[in-house]
Structure formats: structure tokens, C-alpha cells
Structure 1
Amino acid sequence: MKLTKVLTTLAVWLVLVTEGVSASGNNGLTAQSFSFSRKDSTVTINTINSDYVLHVKKRTGPIKLDGVLDEEDWKRAQKATNFYMVLPYDTGYAAAKSEVMMTYGDKAFYLAFVFYDTIPGKRPVESLRRDFVFGNNDNFLLFLDTYNDQTTGYSFGANAAGAKWDGTMSDGHSVNLIWDCKWQSKTKNYKDRWVTEMRIPFKSIRYQSGVDHWNVQFSRLDLKRNEKSAWAPVPQQFPTASLAYAGVVQWETPPPKSGLQFSLIPYIFGSASRDFEAGTDTRYRKDFGMDAKLGLSSSLNLDLTYNPDFSQAEVDDQVTNLDRFELYYPEKRQFFLENSDLFANYGSGQIRPFFSRRIGLDSPVLAGARLSGKLGNDWRLGVMDMETEKQGDLLARNFFVASVQKKVFSRSNIGAIFVNKQNMNVPSGFTGNEYNRVAGLEYNLASSNNYWTGEFFGFRSFTPGMSSGEQFAQGTQLNYSRKQYDLGIKEYYVGKNYNAETGYVPRVDYLRLNPTATVRFYPDKSNVEYHGFFTELDTYFRPGDMELTDREVSFDYFFQFHNRSHLELETNFWYIKLRNAFDPTNQGNHFLEAGTGYNWFDATLIYQSDNRKTFKYELSSGYGGFFNGNRLHVEGMLNYRFQPFGYVSMVFSYNNLKLPQPWGDTGYWLVGPKLDVTFTDKLFFTTYVQYNEQIDNINVNARLQWRYQPVSDIYLVYTDNYFPGNMQAKNRALVFKMTYWFN
């Protein structure tokens, strides 16, 4: 373990160095000190684009949301213009003209933006669905840093057809689109431009009272020109959502102080289901539940839920499983996703001390509470407590997680997390664990110019009967990003007795070292926007004797074209020494023996078409070794949009494994056609069919959603599963759910 100690020491030294690096960005920008006034103090922050200030006057008359900017308040408002190009280049102004204006009253603030075209023709949009895919639509996005911490905030936006976008921000650039709030907008299309007006109530967001400055960024994606631009300049290696490069909105007077806010969201539920495999009759069920939101202050929320139902959550995308370890499926239930960065972002992708999908998927959730938000300017707090009901052999359980973060330096933070899973009313003779706990510390590095990012964490699990010596996990990750290159190093260790039952840790007892490098070249006067290569060495060692158990050496070369298409060749050299018996087909019939080692090479060619076209596609195909045999795989996605009313798509994959006896040749098809229709910006219908040959199943999921009032919905969800051979039904369910937001 000497290597781990050396790397950890080096990481600490690099933190001190990178936090002290002066922030020089593109366009000759340098980090500057900027002060804003507050009733109780003056706070100094570093923001690279502090010279970009939009002065916002209080409105003097009514604002009608109609896409016609004829009010006097718009005529006298200062305009944010001269947007800087971010992609395909970041060395000058955008070719397409953009204008953004703001004003505000006692209850809400307003935005108006005008985006002019330079190329005639239809503006590309995917659909009218809320929270559209950024790269598939002509759109405008607003990024608000209401605490001036360059880490957290809110995002609002619209595409050229008027579909809305809203979400919360974390990690200085990530947007969680599950979050919804009440706000209004109106989009109007003209021959040479499109115009949108927005009204966002102050009570819909959280902010520091008495502050007259917020960090802000305005971003535009013009797909016809293949041009992404931002009001305050952003280096092209970063998203326009990077709060490190935000400008400043200067209110004429501070926004109103936020009072106590309370929302009640009850629901009613009805379903009919039948399990044909078990031979049971149709089961009818009706129920109710509710969520409540209490704004304890302008920056702290209490969320409560009783008897929650998650039947409207999107179905998981199925995959062909050829892996040795548990697959990861993302959380899609709204209650767990709001402010999820406070709980779910600790550790790395393979070492999560808390993973909310462990709660409620094997037994119903009875009730829960979550307290989250800001404490002062530098502290964030998150506490969540959930209780599940007894289900069969599973006892009633309580899940508790607490997290606290303290901002340090310019944009970094130190965090602590505690997770507790407790079985309730444990009977005598119970053979399971009465409890499982994890505690840990983490440092998240983000330099003022965002060039240096990283994290350094350590966790300890507590499980009855487990040896205390190897219940640890720790990790170090450091990245340096510039326009021409990205460099990274990861080091992770997981002890063989580390046990995070409410987390996601698919494998234990290893030391992992993973350096990576990406290099990009930008040719002049070429159809290629940039090209370059990515290479990495990913190795796993057994900690006791440092025996190599896994090694992947990768070298990929890629081309990004000006027409938005992408071509990539991936090559991989593998070595795996099995620590446990493994069936490479994952059928569970025949196994490779533990202790055997395998070397192989494979290559994959990937092409993505121009996504601005009405018909777009992605295709990939590869061939090479696979343990003691060979593997051929073909994957793809086909998508045709009938804008602005939706699209029809299909994903597919085929894996052919050529292995020696007793396995022989094995082929797996996975096909998933999908129809997504948005009749209006409030009425949506989705049908998703998935045929998975590996698990011998056809799944049909159809969902109708009507947003009949702001943030109030009616859902009708139909689910069916069949045996593919004879189309005999396995199980079937029809669900009705209605929610209403009292605010």
C-alpha cells in the first residue's frame, strides 16, 4: 500500500498548487475580484467574467407574455448582446445576432430574448417535450448562480418551438432536469428570428436575501449554423453551463426577501394488474399519498412524502449483460433526484456510499423526509430519512443519510457523509445484518478557471461481524483540461470487507490505477472541426500481493466534422485473471474456472450522423477476442423526427459469441423501437417496446401524460411482458395516477 500513500501525498500537494494557480482563460481573460453588497456584510468572490455586467431595472408597468416586445420596460432595458462563439471555435464573436433583456417586480423576474437567423429555413427542434435534449434543438438556456458560489444554481430555457427546460445545478456545471417549478413562457416565431418571454417567480427558486448581484450566463445553440455561443466567453473545452465563466446580473434593488413557502402535492392512484406466470386473477388496487414542500428560508427546504408512488417513472433501458459485475441503472424517481448531488455524488462511479435505487425497489416506501439547502454562504446541508414496509421475508427498514459540505478556496468544497441502513423489529434468530453504516470524507477540487478538477475521498463501513481491518475504501482523481488536451489520473482502493449495502459498489478487494490522456488537433480550412486521440491504461491489482487481475490498454482515434457528424475507431488490449468462476454468456450453465487468465484484442468503429437532419443515426460495429473465444457486435440507433411533434426511433444491438464447447455459438438480439409524441407542450405520449433475447422477454411500456395545470399531471401507464416465442403474456398492468400542486 506504499503506492497508495505516495499518490495521496502527491494529490494533496497538487491541491495546494492548483488552488493557487492564477486563472487565465481564453480571450485574454483573467480572474478578478468582485464585491457585491449585502445587508449584513460585503462578500468578495473570484469570477473570471466579472466585467460582463447586465444592469436590470425594476419594471414600471405590466409585462404580457406574448412574444411581442412592445412594453416600455423592454425598450428601456439594457441588452446583453455580442455573444461570443464557443463552438466550433472560441476565438471571436458569434455570427448570429442575439439579444437578452431582463426586468423584475416584487414577485417575479422576466426575461426576453431575440435570436436572429443568418440561414433561412426551418429551425431544428426535436419536440415540444419539457426538458428537451440540449444538442437536438435550437435553444436558449439561462444559468443562474443565485448564491454567487460558482457551484450551485438553476437553469431555465426554451427551444424554438416553445418547449420549456428547467433544472437545478451542481458541481459548477451539471444540470438536473428532474426538478420542476411553476413559471411561464411564450415563444413566437418570425421569418428572420424567434422571440421568447419568460416569467419566473422569485418564490420558485432559492437565493441569499439582501444580495443585489447574481452570477448569470446566457447560452444559445444555433443548429443551422452549427454554432454555440454565450454572452460571457467560455473556453470551448467547457460547457456554457460552467459557472466559473458566468457574468453578473446587477439588480437595481435586491430581490424581495423570501418568506415561508408551503406546497402540498397530493395524488390518487388506481391500478389493475395480473401475473399470468403465477396464475393469479386480476388484482385491483387504489391508493393515495402526498408530497409536501416547506421553504424554511430562502435557502433551506424541507420535503416530506407519505406513501409515495413511482409508477410514472420512465422504464429502464435494457442492455445485453456480458459483464462480470452488477450493472448500473440510473435513478429516475423524482423524489430522490431533487438535490441529489448532496447525497449521490460522493465517491466515484464504482464506489458510491449512497445509491438511492436501493430504497423502495424491493418493498414499498411508507414515508420519508428530506432537508436540504444552504446554511449561510459557504455551507450546504442534506439530511434524508426514508422508511420501507415489511415485504415477505424483508423486514421493515429505515434508510438515513446525512451530508454536509463546506466551500473552501474559490470553488472547491469539503464534504462529509453518513449512511445508515437499519432493519426494524428484528426477530430472534434473524440471520441478516441488523444494520449497515458508512461514514466518509471527501474533498472536491475545482480551480477558479476550471482547468483543474478532482476529488479525494475516504469511506469506512460498519457491519456487525465484519473484520474492522479491511472495511475501507478511498480514491484519488485529478484532471487537467485545456483546449488541446485533457489529462487525468485515478487511483481507487476498496477493501475486501468494505460493505455499502445502500451504495453501489459492484466489486471489492482491489487497487485500481487509471491514467488517461486526450489530445485534439484543430486544422485550418478543413471539413474537420478537430481530430485527435484518447488513450488510457486501466489496471486492477489484488491488494494483498499486488497481483495484476485486470488490464485494459485503449487507444482511440476520432474525427469531429463541421457538419456535426463524428467518426471514431476504438482499439483495446485486454488481460483478465478471473478471481471467481464466470460464465461469459451470463446464462449460468457453464463456467470458466477461477484463477484462469485470458488475453485478447478487439476493435470497434463508430459513426454518428449529423443530428440536425430530420433522419439521424448512430452505428457501431466491432470484432475481436472475448475471454476464451471471439465476439462480434453491432449496435445502432435510428431516429426520425416529425418536428415539432416528436420522433420515432429504434435502438438495436446484436452480440455473437463464438466460444469453444460446451458454450458453442451464442447470439443475443436487443431491439427497442420507441414512439414519442408531443401533441402540445402539455400533452405527451410515449410507447417503448424492448425485445431482449438474453432474458427471453418482450416488454411494452406506454405512457400518456397530461400536464393539465402547472406542475400538476395525469398519468396513464400500460405495461406488458411477453415470451417472444409464442407471445404468451407473463404479466400486465394498467395504472392511473393524478397529482395536483397546491401552492
Structure 2
Amino acid sequence: MHFFSQFLHFFSSTRIVLLWSCLISISVQAQKKNANYRLHIKKASSAITIDGVMDEEAWKETDVAKDFFMVLPADTGRAEQQSEVRMAYDEKNLYLIAVFYNNPPGPYYVESLRRDFQFGKNDNFLIFMDPFNNQTTGFSFGANAAGAQWDGTMNNGGRVDLNWDSKWISKVTRNERQWVFEMAVPFKSIRYKKGVTEWGINFSRLDLKSSEKSSWTPIPRQFPTASLAYSGVLVWDEPPPAPKINFSLIPYVLGSANVSSLNENNTEYETKIGGDVKFAVTSSLNLDLTLNPDFSQVEVDQQIVNLDRFELFYPEKRQFFLENADLFANFGYANIRPFFSRRIGLDVPIIAGARLSGNLDENWRIGAMDMQTANDESIGLPSQNFATVSLQRKVFSQSSIGFIFVNKESFNYPDESEEYYELYPKYNRNLGFEYNLASYNNLWTGKAFVFKSFSPDNDGNGFTQAANIEYKSQNWNFGFKEEYVADDYRAEVGFVPRNGYFKFTPFLGYLFYPKKNTPILSHGPKWTSIYYFDESMNNTDYLNLLQYYLNFRNRSSFRATFIDEYVKLLEPFDPTGTGKPELPAGSEHHWNALRLNYSSKPQSMFTYTIGGRVGGYYEDGSWLSVNNELGYRFQPYVSLSSVISYNNIQMPAPWNTTDFWLIGAKADVTFTNKLFFATLFQYNEQSKNFNLNSRFQWRYQPASDLFIVYTYNDLMPPYSESTHSITLKLVYWFNK
């Protein structure tokens, strides 16, 4: 072990040079893979009505994208389900109509009429647009076979962020032999560069009855059809219309009533007025302003069982923070984030904010955000300002270099005591840069970054650095990741749950593809090792995983995982998460376990995912967990789902036996694609919490909504606190 520690200490001093050299050497410039797939678009010769019927003269004069390629279950030929796509434009809108044939005729599978549906659970069509033709950013639009819309921004060469909403219209018609999707997207709703006559473009179709996913351009099956590296080219007969003034005002008015047991069940009433402003500085750069924002209509977080020693991550759901969010949130890794927007304004009101984000040209992107929060005299919390600036430069085919600066400044302390200066430091800053690798064919990906923090005392002036590289072909998937977080690195506006460690993660996987037409589409093993060391290179944790995957032709899947885990506790820890005695710091624990998971095929009206874990736990104990997700739909109007988790922990005294349930159920009713109702209840026996959230939404105009939200939260003994609230919120989108 002494030799191993010396080797790792040597490796830790050279790892960044080795990995960064690999990342840069792989980033070679190459011609776009599918540049020869070209679809010509010209100005419509007649008016187009969005009705899902291809009867306008303009559609007869367009190019046709057809003869799609099969991506799944195999990528060796043309798709069996035929599709045709046509595009046109006028001075205001970009138009598309697509026809999808059923051969043989059969049922359609859709989850609901809910916007931004789950891709794998719906017959659907998606378009991926890359207006800068840079293979990294863009927009996605589409619909399922029942007409539910899908829209999102694209980043990192193929990730789609569905939290973005824009104003556009569409219509779906269908019969047993075909379904038709027609849409009109205002040029005001997207960002593009003036004068450009070639955009990246691709089209994707998923047909669940045949389990076939297809694409206009050929794409290897290990990659998503959203991969912009494999997009074709949309060729304009002349540059798209020059952008005109694009100004949106989105005010809201809100009224709410709140009842709390801590306030002797008296009713408190609140009214709020605020809103957002969107202004297109250029055709590709947007300025967003917000005043007195409110996020009461945002869905509550789904509760989870917490048996982790470190803080858990919950995703951002507030709309203002989500457009172009990758410019801020994608720096670092999942557990090393210099910026995490949920640190802003969850406990105190946001007074106002501004954000500038988008493309400067085909190579440069910028993000700048400034948010101001109020103070809270009851806990001595001062007013705080959160400022973030990021700059991203595309290099080579799809790679990029990024810079970020994050500043949190505290002022106007309600109480000038030294205690509050220690609790809420006057400032915390992070400065750093990163390199993102994406080879021209997506086979190699990776990242390397360095961040430095600055704080008023010497306890928060550390740094972190990490790098990883991954290779993914149809058969092979392997790579390596290394991380270092100094004990004195601080990211108060970020998410860094653990400090003072080195981490090394090698992994290797292989997939077999049966040559015969068997129920199994692919299968294979994957090995992953995760090793943690303290700053003196003493091993504190390791986790070895040996997994085997089975992917079935009907899109169901099974995974078995053998676990070998070791933990040396750095701090006292309650292994049950229920307030029982803590294990002492420095104690060592080792166990083995087996985890199984199965997900059913999405074509069924009744779907389920079931899994469990059985094996050892802390202090030579055992941990048994069983969890499942059940769903049933009366398509396309009603979707019912539930989450049930049971945990049983057996340990010696004083812990003895600990068991608890987590139960959640959700009803999602979509009366039309503009009228929605959803209700979610959750009971977490571990945290003694019962929660009910019901939300009614009427989209009476594009991007304009009426919300009625009811929330009930009950903290059971020993906490004994309950709250009720009902909120009515009206939002209207004025667009010029």
C-alpha cells in the first residue's frame, strides 16, 4: 500500500498534464460528417395555414427530406417506417410539415398532451436546428403523435434543455395509416446570425410499435439523434429575414393565502406584482430582466431517501435561470460546480435580476447574470448580490474553451455582530476556466478545468482541478477521470458537497450485439472503480462496481450490479438518517452488495420499473431496499404514476432495526394541449414529512398562463408543523 500511495502521489502531480495533453491532441479539425446531406429551403409561394393538412400550393414546390436511416434497433440500413419532411419560410415564420407513414397500420403510443414529453415514451418527431452551423448550440422543436409540443435549447453538441419555452404554433392530424405534423416558428422566437445561408439541420422519428428510431442523416446507434455532429445542412435560397425589433414584456399578478400552525392557524394574505422583460440585443444575443420574480407555480422537488454523508443535489426548475443555463451551470462536474443557481433566492426574496446570454458569432458565446436578494433581519442575513460572467469560445470541430467568474457579495448586515460576519462572509469569489472536448465524430469526449476561490480569510482561498476523457463506440466504452478539491476551496454559489480529496475513476465497458433477430438487442459488462484519497494520499473510500446490461428489442432493459465498497468516516455519521446515534469519525467499514433493476417496455399502457439492493452496510450490518415506479395511462388524457421505496437496515445496538417507507403518487390530467391539471402527494417516513401539491394550468395564449396552485406540507412529530397555501397567478406574454 505504501508503494501504491507513492505511485498515486507521483501520478497526482502529472495527471493534469497527461490528461489535458490527450484532450487537446484528440481535438482535430475535420469536415462535418454529414455535410453532403442538404435540404434546400425557399420562400413560400402561397400563404400557409397551420392545420396539419398539406393542401397549400407552397408545399408542392419544396425539397423533401425522406429515405430516413434506421438508428435503432440497428444502424445498418434505411428505416422501415417511411417519413417525409418539407420546409419553407416567409417574412415572419419558419414552416415545417412532416408526414409519417404506418407500415403496417397500427396503434399510436403517447403518454399525454403534456408539453415537453418524455422522448422514449411517445411516438414523436423532433427537429434539431443549428443556426450557427457550429455543431454545438441550437434549438429543438417537435411533437408527439397526439399533438403535445416539445421545445428546448441545445448545447454541448447534442444536449436538449426542455426548460426553455418559446412562442410557436403547431397542429397534428392522424389516421390509421399516417400522422402529420405542421408547425410555424416565428423568427423572433429563435436566435440566428444575420446573413447566414446554411444552418445545421436534422430530423428524428421514434415509432414505438416497431421500436424503431430513425434519422434523416445516418447516425451510429450509440449516439442520440440530437447529435449536431451528425446533422445535415439546411440551404437557404437567400438569407433568412433580417431580425426586427424583438421585445417581450411578461408581467404577472399573484394572490395567495397561507395558513401555518406556527402562526396559530391564522390566514395570511399576499399579493405580488412583477414580471420579466426579454429584449433581443442582436438576433442571437438576448437580455432578460426580472423584477420581483415569483416561482410559486414551479413543481415541488421529488423527495428521495437520503442515506448519503454529503449534501444531495436538486435540479433548478425556475424559468428565469434556465434559458442558456449551460453557459453558467455546465462548468465543472456534477459535484464540483462553481455556480449553482439554487443558491440564489430560495430562502429570501429576489428583488431584481438581469441576464445577458447568447451567441456573439459562430464561435463566441457570452453569459452575464446579476441577481439582488433582500436581507432577513430575523437570522442576521444581509442583502446579497450574485454576479456571474462566462465566456465560451468554440475550437476545432465541436470543442470549446470556457472562462467563468462568480462573485457573491454581502452588505447591509441587519446586525453588525462578528457572529454574522463569520456566518455570512462579506464575499466569496470563484475564477476559473475549462476545456471541453468533443471530437468531430463524437467518439471522444472529455473535460478539464481549474477553479480558484477567494474569501475574506485564509480558510477559503483554495482551488480545484479535474479532467476526464471517454471513448464510446458501438462496442467499447472506456475512460478515466481524476479530481482534486482542496480542503480550503469554497464555492458558496456553487455545489461542492465534499472537500479535501483526490478522486480517481477508471471504467471499461463492452456491448455485444447478437447477429440474429433475438429479443435481446445488446448486452455486456461494465467495470467502474472510484477511489478517494485525502490530501496526504491516504485512502478514505473506494467503490468497485461490476455491472451487466441487457437491452431488449422492445426497449425494456435489465441491469445487475455487484458492489464492493469501503468507507473510512471523516466525520461522525448517522447511518440511518433518522436521528439515531452517530458512528465515530475514523471508523472503517467494508461491505458487498447486489443491486438489480428492470424497466418495462414503454409501449404498454401499464409500465413499471422495479429494483432493489441487498447486502452489507455499516458496522457489519445489512441494508435491504426495494423500490419501484408504476405507471398507467389512459392515453392521451390521463397518466397515473407512483413511486414506492422500502428500506430495512439491520445493525447492532444501539441502532438495531430501522425501516422506513417513501411513497409518492401523481395524477397528470391533460384535458387538451392547453389545459392541464396535476397533483402530487409524497410521504417520507425517514424525514417525517407529508406533502401535497396540486397545480391547474390554462395556457390561454401561447406562453401566457393562468395557474392555480394548492400546497400542503406537514412535518410530523417530533417537528409538528403544518402549512397550507393556495395561489392564483396570471401571466401574459406581450410580444412586439
TM class by smaller structure? over 0.9
- 1:684 corresponds to which letter in structure 2? F
Shift of 1:3: 1.7
**Which whole-Å CA distance do the structure 1 matches of 2:26 and 2:507 have between them?**
19
Aligned pair 1:241/2:226, yes or no? yes
Structure 2: which 5+ runs fail to align? 1-8
Aligned pair 1:585/2:576, yes or no? yes
- 2:158 corresponds to which letter in structure 1? H
- 2:86 corresponds to which letter in structure 1? M
For 2:673, the equivalent position in structure 1 comes to 681
Contact 1:260 1:297 in 2 (8 A): no
Give secondary structure in 1 for the equivalent of 2:42.
strand
- 2:236 corresponds to which letter in structure 1? W
For 2:213, the equivalent position in structure 1 comes to 228
* Cα distance change, pair 674–726 in 1 and its aligned pair in 2 (3 A): farther
For 1:605, the equivalent position in structure 2 comes to 596
For 1:28, the equivalent position in structure 2 comes to none
Contact 2:107 2:176 in 1 (8 A): no
For 1:691, the equivalent position in structure 2 comes to 683
Shift of 1:725: 8.4
Give secondary structure in 1 for the equivalent of 2:734.
coil
Contact 2:388 2:406 in 1 (8 A): yes
Contact 1:320 1:668 in 2 (8 A): no
- 1:293 corresponds to which letter in structure 2? K
For 1:18, the equivalent position in structure 2 comes to 26
Aligned pair 1:2/2:13, yes or no? no
For 2:3, the equivalent position in structure 1 comes to none
Q: Following superposition of structure 1 onto structure 2, how do residues 274-293 of structure 1 map, counting pairs within 5 Å?
A: 274-293=259-278
**Which whole-Å CA distance do the structure 2 matches of 1:13 and 1:388 have between them?**
42
Contact 1:119 1:224 in 2 (8 A): no
1:1-23 Cα distance to aligned partner (Å, 9 max, x none): 53223221111221233123x8x
Contact 2:704 2:732 in 1 (8 A): yes
Contact 1:259 1:297 in 2 (8 A): no
**Which whole-Å CA distance do the structure 1 matches of 2:567 and 2:204 have between them?**
45
* Cα distance change, pair 726–367 in 1 and its aligned pair in 2 (3 A): closer
Shift of 1:280: 4.6
Aligned pair 1:536/2:534, yes or no? no
Contact 2:387 2:407 in 1 (8 A): yes
Shift of 1:563: 1.5
For 2:725, the equivalent position in structure 1 comes to 733
Aligned pair 1:711/2:703, yes or no? yes
Aligned pair 1:553/2:534, yes or no? no
Give secondary structure in 1 for the equivalent of 2:115.
coil
**Which whole-Å CA distance do the structure 2 matches of 1:330 and 1:164 have between them?**
23
* Cα distance change, pair 741–494 in 1 and its aligned pair in 2 (3 A): same
1:712-734 Cα distance to aligned partner (Å, 9 max, x none): 00100000123568998711110
- 1:488 corresponds to which letter in structure 2? G
1:384-414 Cα distance to aligned partner (Å, 9 max, x none): 0000011232111000000001111111111
**Which whole-Å CA distance do the structure 1 matches of 2:121 and 2:689 have between them?**
31
Provide the aligned length of Structure 1 versus Structure 2. 718
For 1:395, the equivalent position in structure 2 comes to 382
Task: Give the TM-score normalised by the residue count of structure 1.
Answer: 0.95
1:471 to 452, 462, 486: 462
Aligned pair 1:170/2:158, yes or no? no
Contact 2:81 2:102 in 1 (8 A): yes
Q: Which moved more, 1:558-567 or 1:474-483?
A: 558-567
**Which whole-Å CA distance do the structure 2 matches of 1:182 and 1:606 have between them?**
40
**Which whole-Å CA distance do the structure 2 matches of 1:623 and 1:128 have between them?**
39
1:460-494 Cα distance to aligned partner (Å, 9 max, x none): 000111247x6010000111110001112110000
**Which whole-Å CA distance do the structure 2 matches of 1:337 and 1:473 have between them?**
26
Identity %: 50
Aligned pair 1:650/2:658, yes or no? no
- 1:607 corresponds to which letter in structure 2? Y
Aligned pair 1:90/2:90, yes or no? no
Contact 1:214 1:248 in 2 (8 A): yes
For 1:457, the equivalent position in structure 2 comes to 449
Give secondary structure in 2 for the equivalent of 1:75.
helix
Aligned pair 1:340/2:325, yes or no? yes
**Which whole-Å CA distance do the structure 2 matches of 1:587 and 1:77 have between them?**
65
- 1:418 corresponds to which letter in structure 2? F
* Cα distance change, pair 278–138 in 1 and its aligned pair in 2 (3 A): same
For 2:193, the equivalent position in structure 1 comes to 208
**Which whole-Å CA distance do the structure 2 matches of 1:724 and 1:115 have between them?**
53
Aligned pair 1:75/2:64, yes or no? no
**Which whole-Å CA distance do the structure 2 matches of 1:497 and 1:9 have between them?**
23
Contact 2:298 2:318 in 1 (8 A): yes
Q: Following superposition of structure 1 onto structure 2, how do residues 372-387 of structure 1 map, counting pairs within 5 Å?
A: 372-387=357-372
Task: Give the TM-score normalised by the residue count of structure 2.
Answer: 0.96
Q: Following superposition of structure 1 onto structure 2, how do residues 27-426 of structure 1 map, counting pairs within 5 Å?
A: 32=31, 47-391=32-376, 392=378, 393-426=380-413
The runs of at least 4 consecutive aligned structure 1 residues that moved more than 2 Å come to 277-280, 426-432, 722-729
Shift of 1:428: 3.4
Give secondary structure in 2 for the equivalent of 1:523.
coil
**Which whole-Å CA distance do the structure 2 matches of 1:119 and 1:657 have between them?**
52
- 2:613 corresponds to which letter in structure 1? G
For 1:38, the equivalent position in structure 2 comes to none
Shift of 1:358: 0.3
For 2:416, the equivalent position in structure 1 comes to 428
Contact 1:53 1:250 in 2 (8 A): yes
Aligned pair 1:721/2:708, yes or no? no
For 1:35, the equivalent position in structure 2 comes to none
Aligned pair 1:574/2:561, yes or no? no
Q: Which moved more, 1:4-13 or 1:210-219?
A: 4-13
Contact 2:20 2:467 in 1 (8 A): no
Shift of 1:361: 0.6
1:213-234 Cα distance to aligned partner (Å, 9 max, x none): 1000100000110000000111
- 1:281 corresponds to which letter in structure 2? N
1:666 to 654, 658, 681: 658
* Cα distance change, pair 326–726 in 1 and its aligned pair in 2 (3 A): closer
1:6-42 Cα distance to aligned partner (Å, 9 max, x none): 221111221233123x8xxxxxxxx53xxxxxxxxxx
Aligned pair 1:625/2:616, yes or no? yes
Give secondary structure in 2 for the equivalent of 1:64.
coil
- 1:295 corresponds to which letter in structure 2? A
Shift of 1:259: 2.4
Shift of 1:82: 0.6
Give secondary structure in 2 for the equivalent of 1:155.
strand
For 1:527, the equivalent position in structure 2 comes to 519
Contact 2:24 2:437 in 1 (8 A): no
**Which whole-Å CA distance do the structure 2 matches of 1:295 and 1:561 have between them?**
47
**Which whole-Å CA distance do the structure 2 matches of 1:270 and 1:540 have between them?**
50
1:360-390 Cα distance to aligned partner (Å, 9 max, x none): 1110100000001111221111000000011
Contact 1:119 1:225 in 2 (8 A): no
For 1:37, the equivalent position in structure 2 comes to none
**Which whole-Å CA distance do the structure 2 matches of 1:472 and 1:50 have between them?**
42
For 2:4, the equivalent position in structure 1 comes to none
- 1:449 corresponds to which letter in structure 2? N
- 1:428 corresponds to which letter in structure 2? E
Shift of 1:112: 0.4
- 1:553 corresponds to which letter in structure 2? N
